[in-house]
Structure 1
Amino acid sequence: MFADLRARARARLEPAHWDFYAGGAGAERTVHGNEEAFERIRLVPRVLRATGPRDLRTTLFGTELAAPILVAPTAFHRLAHPDGELATARGAAAAGSVLVVSMAATMPVEAIAAEAGAWWFQLYVQPDREFTAALVRRVEAAGCRALVVTADSPVFGRRERDHRHGFHDLPTGLVCENMRDATGAVRAIAMDARLGWDGIDWLRGITGLPIVLKGVLHPADAELAVEHGVSGLLVSNHGGRQLDGAIASIDALPAVAKAVGGRLPVLVDGGIRCGADIVAALALGADGVLVGRPVLWGLAVDGARGVQDVLSLLEDDLDRALALVGARRPADVTPDLVAWR
């Protein structure tokens, strides 16, 4: 559905910047696997269901969305457009979506918040807990409604495209604005291989925000997440950017959703490109989906309007897909509407 937009975005971006957005770890088997997994899923529609006009609205953590489609956290939006995350925030707000702001954003959260509707913040818990706590207080003060805590990154994945281009630092004038400490110095984002479940317990102790744990692929981890009191799960393999060879997110979703058993919301990202993909995710246990790379393509091509267009197109396609499978609302999508090839 987005092939033309993808090509136009690639033509506009510097090759190194395109490869940063498009690429993943290792041989990129998981990058490609996320989309290919949907090719093995087929929908089994019901007929004569009298759906009438569809109602796509979804509520997550007290926030109503126009549809169960959120903007995934992705880094360095000013590589795609001069307004960076400000444009993304405007586009997401216009579409009635929730923006998940990356910790590696190139605009400060206060400026993003001024342009956004509802927004969440993606967090890597840093080895310096005092700095992490200060950042949490900062995003709380700016109006953040949930923390999306990335759990799948004890180390950085090796991204061959970035090494080929020598792309290890942002261009002059761009920094991770939300990594500034009290002195104004910009810290590097640190991965912490020592982080364990006690880190989630600590985080719950310093904030009242809902915590969505991102990067869960194994059902045993889903059970542990529930035990440790998280508010939601995001089934994700980091867009294939960490462990090459990891299971596709949509393939991991059913077991994770079964382990959770409806006790908390389950979201999924990775490879979602059309309304039928969203219906498949809902049928397999998701309460909503997050979309990353297509949003960046829209941003590169037409700024805030491009972001809005991507989200609106997905919403329209979801509306059509719901009608065609015989569902009026996302909650009406049931497991019997999917089959595996």
Structure 2
Amino acid sequence: MQKELTLDTVETLVPSVVFAEGGVEDVVSKLEAYVRALPLDATTEKGRKHIKSVAYDVARSKTALDNMGKEVQESAKAIVDRVNADRRVVKSRLDTLRDEVKAPVVEFEQREAARVEGHQIAIRDIEALARFDFAPDEETVSARQAELARLYARDFEEFKERAKVAFEQSGVNLSAHAEAAKARRIQQEEADRKATLAAEEERKRLEAERIAREKRIAQEAAERSRIQAEQAAQAERERLEREAHAAAERERAAAHAMKEAQARAEREKIAAARRAEEEKERAVQAERERVALEKRQQEAEAKRRAADKDHKSAVNNEALKALVAAGMPEDLGKAVIKAIALGKVPHVSINY
């Protein structure tokens, strides 16, 4: 850059040189030194015009330098835009080339990961087959055993030993569940058989008692009616005999009266027999209603006991799930719940 710089020579400067590192500071410093060294006199008309002319030239120099800066900026921006575009090409093309080169490895690793995950999922499925959240029946356990055999038939490759351990453990557990399910079924069938026999025996006993009661009530009613009729007839005969002895002269009238009395006595006897029969029927009906009421009460009580049993079983199963979830073996959990339910564990109870 030239050593001497005036306001008149600013426009001759090269923009790239001015806006090189340290260039602006050099130019502005020289202009400041040049302008401040000028003899300026504001006391005369000519001096004031000279000052205004210098200020105008300073403003023109500022505009010229600013325009140079814009020119350099636009040139630099074009270079930056071109470089950025080239960078994008580099990134896109070389990323594509990298992915193209790496694709066989990625595909292999994905296939390998899928293969390993498939083996691991199958092993987890084998292990899960022996886990139950409920007491399974024989059909459920048998289906699990068939599924276990199907899963184990696959080729586990390097996971073969691990799969074998899982298969053997699940097989042992399923066999234990099968035995337990069979024992539960046999126990339930025996309990149902005994309950059916007991219910039938109870029904026969109640029926026999009902028939005996009805027969006894009918006999007692018939006996009362017979005694009442005999007593009425005896009383009438005695009355007639007393009248016959007291009024022999009225023998014909007494005979007629006796016939009337006998007819009345017969009617009363018939009426008494009818009343006895009606009383018998009422007694039998009352007994039937009592038996029906007693049967309804027994059925309601049986339903209540069954509901209570189901409720306690549900509560016990929930407690068992919690104990198993806490890490306790299922068989031990059942034993603990049974001991608590029977009151054999002090200070511990189950809230039904």
Shared fold (TM-score, shorter chain, > 0.5):
no
| Structure exhibiting the larger radius of gyration computed from Cα positions | 2
Q: Give the TM bin, normalised by the shorter chain.
A: under 0.3
* TM-score, normalising length: structure 1: 0.19
Larger RCO (CA within 8 A; separation ≥ 6): 1
* TM-score, normalised by the number of residues in structure 2: 0.19
Higher helix residue share = 2
